[in-house]
Chain A
Amino acid sequence: MDFLSNLISGLSLGSIYALIALGYTMVYGIAKMLNFAHGDIIMVGAFAVIVCINTCGLPVWLAAVVSILCCIVLGVLIERIAYKPLRRSAPLTVLITAIGVSYLLQSVAQLVFGSEMHSFPKVISMPTIQIGELTIKGNALVTLVVSAVIMVVLTLFIGKTRMGKAMRAVSEDKDAAELMGINVNKTISVTFAIGSALAAVAGIFYGSTYGFIGPYTGSMPGIKAFVAAVFGGIGSIPGAMLGGLALGIIENLSKAYISTELSDAIVFGVLIIVLLFKPTGLLGKKIKEKV
């Protein structure tokens, strides 16, 4: 029963990673950049919920909507102000800028909310389910179900809609897509908007799972989700989901059965092994270099 419980909490943790990893992988796939500030959007989303509920007294659903909108606006603004002017610069320049944005978000949050941890309001009022000796946290269940629904919707969106088609086109060849009449700027903005909205959802789940939020809350899950994205094959949407879930399960099971201190080392060790045998990640496509 311990095994099942650990597996379920691993899945729940993994779906939070997967939600964040989706943002990483979409932005990478379309804008060809690593948005290291993505993890901190989670923190902003969670703080938005705290402010909405504790200070403004909004109901939970409205707080969630406001938080998602906040993150969308923030994500698109960051793209417009910090990344767009650098679209033709060297990848390293953009990467450093992203790290700078990440620090900026953390410092501003620290300035506004202080460095201490803030308790997160109870947004998910799902009771703990007890089946025999097996305990399933209500939070974990809601996280799992909502994440699964979001992933299905996202896959349909990318595969079936015109915007999705445009995104795939931009991802394949930005210049050719532009020649075909696709508005590249708009497509990239939409990508950032979707990624940030997912981060806000991840932030809400993260807050309600762990109960406390601080200005640096986003950085570790951000890094883990980046690993998940690489693990699954960066640029691949099903890869990010698979990578996130796998990472959550590996992390929890290695904590339970090998060592709590070594769990992170094991997670990153698995990543190294996978990359040795499959350099593009589990579901990554091999990119042909055109000569």
Chain B
Amino acid sequence: MMKTMRKTLGIVLAAVLCIACFAGCKKSEGSGGQTLIIGGSGPLTGDNASYGISVKQGAQLAVDEINEAGGVNGIKLQLEFEDDGADPSSAVSAYATLYDEGMKVSLGAVTSAACVAVTEEVKKDGMLMLTPSASQKECTQYDNCFRVCFMDPDQGTYAAQFIADNNVGSKIAVLYDKSNDYSSGIRDNFIAKAQELNLNIVSEQAFTDQSKTDFSVQLQAIKSSGADLLFMPFYYQEAALVITQAASAGMDITYFGVDGMDGIIGQMGEANAELTEGIILLTPFVAASSDENIVAFVEAYEKEYSATPDQFAADAYDAIYTIKAAMEQAGIEDVEDAELNEKLVAAMTEIEVDGVTGKMTWSADGEPTKTAQAVVIKDGVYVEY
């Protein structure tokens, strides 16, 4: 009995080995050309799983499209994506695994803390890293690190620019969370840019993590200042409180949020649905856009995964097309090119990519320059501003 089992096991294992070998061969030799492995990690399980899954799906979609169209200079792309549970040490070991598998370009990690940890490894290896979604400043701290999404505080700059360009409000009030880096970082950049653009800021109010339930005093001051636009660089949980309290104080003001505001419709629920009407928020990606690039992307994504792509999927999709653009710019024809890393990093600052999250160029410090887009809430859904 024991013997037969062992025998069967042996045969099965041998078969698996053969298949693995065959599969491995097929990958690199499939179309006679070469394959460039793009690696990345993100949370595919746990609390933040939706971020990682979106990134993986968005990137995979772009990889499939590019390969179907013949690859980049004849080189096929291959995506290897590991689960890091948004944990820095898991992200580092995922990076090591991917490196051993022959990764040539890294997508870093999906979440900020994990991505910062990966930058240290990437720095040693000199490989091009392009994170789709890690927004913390330190995620692009080294020369070979780039990102697709906005850096957190930059949203303030874009918000001020957007308000000036579109004439959203003439008297602006700012309310922010002083105890939170994300909120105060955006506020600092917003104020700086607003002064540069001569925007009229009539009131500035703050709250802290300890006092974020009662906004009556701040709202009273904002009301008295006669402001017609309220800039709110914080998350939707607090925004919901502010908006409900402002409504009960009889305030009529336009609310302007950043990406943290995404989620406000669900938070306000049906009972307060009418209060969300007209809220404007800055976002890197508008799924409801009429732009043909975006329409095509949303359609393809929905067909493949039966879900509407979010900003993470869009950022990842753009990241893959950015890598393609960099490879073309650098004229990469051999993935074993000894100067592959240097060529790709140098190409990053020379390319312009017209992606689903906007037209992008990159500066040497790794930050993208792109026009911010905004959505406004109408009848409980986002529409293009």
Residues of A at the B interface (CB closer than 8 Å) are 1-2, 5-6, 9, 13, 116-119, 121-122, 128, 130, 135, 137-139, 209-212, 217, 220, 252, 255-256, 260-261, 263-264
Contacts and interface: CB of A to CB of B under 8 A. Distances in A.
A261 B206 contact: yes
Contact of A6 (B217, B240, B248, B268): B217
17 contacts: A1-B224, A6-B217, A9-B217, A116-B237, A118-B269, A119-B240, A119-B272, A121-B271, A130-B250, A210-B245, A211-B248, A212-B244, A220-B210, A252-B217, A255-B218, A261-B178, A261-B207
A40 to B, nearest CB: 15
A43 to B, nearest CB: 12
- Which 6 pairs of residues, A with B, have the shortest CB-CB distance? A211-B244, A9-B216, A255-B217, A128-B250, A119-B269, A256-B217
B211 A2 contact: no
A264 B210 contact: yes
Nearest to A140: B216
A122 B206 contact: no
B199 interface: no
B335 to A, nearest CB: 47
Interface of B: 178-179, 205-208, 210-211, 213-214, 216-218, 220-221, 223-224, 237, 240-241, 244-245, 248-250, 267-269, 271-272
Given A9-B216, A117-B240, A139 B248 contact: yes
Contacts of B240: 117, 119, 211-212
B223 A117 contact: no
A260 B217 contact: yes
A119 B220 contact: no
A13 B249 contact: no
Given A1-B224, A260-B211, 7 more contacts: A2-B220, A2-B221, A116-B267, A135-B250, A138-B248, A261-B178, A261-B211
A210 B216 CA distance: 10
A211 B179 CA distance: 23
B211 A210 contact: no
B214 A13 contact: yes
Contacts of A118: 269
A259 to B, nearest CB: 9
A220 B217 CA distance: 18
Contacts of A255: 211, 217-218
Contacts of B241: 117, 210-212
A210 B249 CA distance: 11
B173 to A, nearest CB: 14
A117 B267 contact: yes
Contacts of A121: 271
Nearest to B250: A128
Contacts of B207: 260-261
A251 to B, nearest CB: 8
Given A121-B271, A261-B208, A6 B220 contact: yes
Query: Which of the listed residues B211, B217, B272 has the most CB atoms from chain A within 10 Å of its own CB?
Result: B217
B281 to A, nearest CB: 19
Contacts of A210: 213-214, 241, 244-245
A255 B211 CA distance: 10
B213 A220 contact: yes
B237 A117 contact: yes
Given A13-B214, A137-B248, A260 B220 contact: no
A138 B206 CA distance: 25
Contacts of A264: 210-211
B216 A252 contact: yes
B211 A6 contact: no
A209 B246 CA distance: 11
A6 B272 contact: no
A211 B245 CA distance: 7
A56 to B, nearest CB: 15
A1 B210 CA distance: 27
A211 B272 contact: yes
